[in-house]
Chain A
């Protein structure tokens, strides 16, 4: 059974990848000294601002913290449906 698991484990759900992803997120928070709820409230505000100009697809809106070298970047993706008049 273990052997089967081993063979069919897909990339992304193995321990190594999970550790790496957790690690990356943790370090971004560490480096920015980011309190856990800060990001959530930022996302709320960003959505509110963008919504004033556009109708956006809330379900597919994505916020991502990414790492470039030892810097972090916040990448936001707002699928725009139509502009608001």
Chain B
């Protein structure tokens, strides 16, 4: 088996990398694919918490790299999906505990075991990021429609472009879009961000309280079919698998006079 190694990155912190990694991982695994989630945020591990697996972590990525345990021993099985595994980061170490070469080796080993290897990169563009992208052949860049996030995403895209040979493709997820604010022209739209970044879109995730609730429960995507963000992540998973899925209609590219009136009287945005 040779799986795909996909790094989830953003440059800016707090835009939802880890949440996206967890949700995409669950969505992919729900379709029957085998998925490994790798938390590369050494020293600030969080993915285990979002997955609700923090109490099952015995070994971690650094232990594997340092050959204190076998890779299989360190993989934590998901509670709900048997085809989903987590390789947790070490919490009491720092980024320098691993290097790019070791990560490459680890990714190569993981992709013989799983269909998808999703690597949750730390924020920033320093060594932690460099290590995270070392073994990846694809990248997913997350940003929110805020100027600082877009700027950082642009920086990351520039760095990914410079590694064209290794990273064959990179696509963008725009997270926490608020259709309401876009409609009232108070927030950049999906189209605006795409225009500025000139990058392929992988998905759009609306701001959704349900995401917070389900991750607080440690059960990503547990909210059921009608949760908007959940649906967005399922669509993203489908697109990663190569299927054509129409984008959720979140955009108000032509926010006309009439639509303003309509949305004024009917604040529930159409998605």
Direct A–B contact present (CB less than 8 angstroms): yes
Contact (A16, B182) CB under 8 Å given A23-B147, A23-B196:
yes
Contact (A20, B185) CB under 8 Å given A7-B260, A27-B154, A31-B154:
no
Q: Name which of A24, A69, A70 has the most chain B CB atoms within 10 A of its CB.
A: A70
- CB closest residue in chain B, given A22: B147
Report how many residues on chain A are interfacial, defined by Cβ distance under 8 Å: 20
Report whether over half of chain A's contact residues are helix, strand or loop; otherwise say mixed. helix
Name the interface residues of B157-206: CB closer than 8 Å to any CB of A: 157-158, 161, 182, 184-189, 192, 195-198
Q: How far is the CB of B182 from chain A (nearest CB, A)?
A: 7
Q: Is the CB of B184 within 8 A of A6?
A: yes
Q: How far is the CB of B204 from chain A (nearest CB, A)?
A: 16
Contact bitstring A3-33, B, C-beta under 8 A = 1, else 0: 1001101000011110110111011001100
Distance of A22 Cα from B197 Cα, bound (Å): 13
Q: Does A67 contact B (CB under 8 A)?
A: yes
Contact (A69, B188) CB under 8 Å given A19-B147, A22-B147, A23-B150:
no
- CB closest residue in chain B, given A70: B198
10 closest residue pairs by CB, A with B? A14-B185, A16-B185, A69-B198, A15-B186, A20-B192, A70-B198, A27-B154, A19-B188, A23-B147, A23-B196
